[in-house]
Amino acid sequence: MLALLAPGQGAQKPGFLAPWRDLPGVAARLRWWSALAGVDLLHLGTDADAEEIRDTARTQPLLVAAALVTAEQLPLYDVSVVAGHSVGELGAAALAGVLSPDAAVTLAGVRGREMAAACAAEPTGMSALLGGDEAEILAALADLGLHPANRNGAGQIVAAGALDALEKLAAAPPGGARIRSLPVAGAFHTPYMAPAEQALAGVAAGIAPADPQRILLSNADGAAVNHGGELLQRLVRQVTAPVRWDLCMGTLADLGVTGVIELAPAGTLTGLLKRELKDRGVPEIVNLNTPDDLPAARDLIARHGAGHTHEPTPQFHVVVAAAAGTFTPGADLAEGDTVRQGQVVGQVRTRQGPVDVTAHSAGSLTEWLAHDDDPVAPGQPLARIGGAQL
C-alpha cells in the first residue's frame, strides 16, 4: 500500500521549485495559481530568498502549489492513502479529489493571509520541545497557558502561545526536554488564530467538496475521513486546533503502508516517519525534491501501489472506518440490501464510545469487508456499496 504525503510550513527552502520550472506546463500552472493566491508563486519557488518565503501569507499557498505541481508528474491512480501536515492538508485534500487544485490553492492563499494578520494582532510564537516526559511536558504547557500546537511524534511537541510564557518555558525546560525557539510569525493552531478560522470558513462555505477517492487522513485525530463536507469543516477548524501528526503516522502503520512518497519540498515528514516507526517497520521512502527523483518515485508506485487495469470495472463505493476499534455491522442489514445515502450501516466501538459508519452514496450492499467483532484500523474498508453514484 502506497501513501503520498504533503509537507507543511517550515519545509520550504530557497529555490526548491527551480528544477521543476522547465517541465511542460509547470510555469504556466504556477502563474495561474499565482492569480488565485494573490502572490507570485513562480518567483517565490525559484528566485526568492529565505526571508521572503518565511512570510506566512506567501509560504502557505507556495507549499500547496508545490505539492500539487510535483504530484501531477506521477501516476496517481495507484496511490491508496494521502495525508498532509498543517497547510499540507489542503494539498492532500486536492490529491484525494475532495477539492479541485484551484480551490486548494485559493484556500491556502486566504489561510496564509488571514493567519499572518492574526499573528500581527499580539506577540505570540512557537517553540519545539524534543525528548523528555510527554505527560510532564503537557502539564507544564497547561500551567503556563501554552498550547501543544503540533504533536509530531518521534519525541517532538511544538508549544505555542504568548512570548513571555514561552520565555518561562525555555528558562525551566520540563521533563528533561530540549527547547528550540522557532522562527515563525505567531502561535499557529491555537485559539489566537480564531479570526483566521472565521475568515477561512466564510470562503470555504462557497466550495462544494466531493467525497474522497482515496483514504484521506485528518490532522485532527489521524482518522480517515469519508465525507467531503466533514473534511472541509476539519480543514477550517484545523487553523485553531492542534496538528496530531503522531496519530497520522500511527494510522499509516496500522493500515500497513509499505511505500511513502513525500512531495516537494520533501524530507521533513519522512524524517519524522523514520524515527517514529523504527520499531514498527519503516516503509520504503522516496523524497520527491527534483525531477531526478521521478524515476524512483514511479518505481515505488509500481511496486507498492494498488495496481491498475484498463479493463472496465463496476462502479462501487467503499465505506471505511474513521477510527480504530471493533466493528459491528448494522442489524438486519445483509449483502444485497439497498442502502440510502447517509444510512448508518454499522458502528465502530472505540474507547471513547461508538462511532457510526454511514454510506455517503446510495446503492446496494454488495459485500461486507469486515464482520461482527472484527478489530479494525482507521481507514480500513468495511463494506462495498455497488451501483454507487461516484
Catalytic residue annotation = 86, 189
Closest to 22 measured CA to CA, from 290, 288, 287: 290
> CA-based Rg of the chain, rounded to a whole angstrom?
21
d(CA 1, CA 254): 11
DSSP code of 189? T
Instruction: For residue 244, give every residue at least 6 positions away whose Cβ sits within 8 Å of its Cβ, in sequence order, or none.
Output: 151, 219, 220, 221, 222
Q: E strands along the chain, which residues? A: 2-6, 81-84, 124-130, 147-153, 156-162, 178-181, 215-216, 259-262, 284-287, 316-320, 325-329, 338-339, 344-350, 353-358, 363-368, 375-376, 381-386
Query: SS3 of 296, please?
Result: helix
Phi then psi for residue 221, to 5 deg, are: -150, 5
DSSP code of 387? T
d(CA 374, CA 220): 25
Closest to 20 measured CA to CA, from 59, 72, 96: 72
389 grid coordinates: 453514484
Distance of CA 128 to the CA centre of its chain: 20
Q: Side chain identity at 390, as an amino acid letter?
A: L
Residue 267 near residue 174 (C-beta atoms within 8 A): no
* Entry field: residues in the chain: 390
Pairing assessment for the beta strands 259-262 and 2-6 based on DSSP bridges: parallel
Q: State the alpha helices, DSSP H only, in 173-292.
A: 194-204, 228-237, 245-255, 268-276
